[in-house]
A and B are shown apart, each in its own frame.
Chain A
Amino acid sequence: AQTVTQSQPEMSVQEAETVTLSCTYDTSESNYYLFWYKQPPSRQMILVIRQEAYKQQNATENRFSVNFQKAAKSFSLKISDSQLGDTAMYFCAFMKTGANAGNNRKLIWGLGTSLAVNP
Chain B
Amino acid sequence: KAGVTQTPRYLIKTRGQQVTLSCSPISGHRSVSWYQQTPGQGLQFLFEYFSETQRNKGNFPGRFSGRQFSNSRSEMNVSTLELGDSALYLCASSLGQGANTEAFFGQGTRLTVV
Contacts and interface: CB of A to CB of B under 8 A. Distances in A.
B42 A110 contact: yes
A59 interface: no
- Interface majority SS on B: helix, strand, loop or mixed? strand
- Interface majority SS on A: helix, strand, loop or mixed? loop
Nearest to A33: B101
A19 interface: no
A93 B94 CA distance: 16
Given A43-B88, A50-B101, A112-B42, A106 B107 contact: no
Chain B, interface size: which category?
Answer: 20 to 34
A103 B50 contact: yes
Contacts of A104: 56
Contacts of A107: 33, 35, 43, 45, 92, 103
B42 A105 contact: no
Contacts of A95: 101
Nearest to B90: A45
Interface in B34-53: 35, 42-45, 48, 50
12 contacts: A44-B107, A47-B102, A47-B104, A103-B55, A103-B96, A105-B33, A105-B48, A105-B94, A105-B101, A107-B35, A109-B35, A112-B42
Given A103-B96, A109-B43, A111-B42, 8 more contacts: A42-B107, A47-B104, A93-B43, A103-B55, A105-B31, A105-B48, A106-B58, A109-B42
Interface of A: 33, 37, 42-47, 50, 91, 93, 95, 97, 103-112
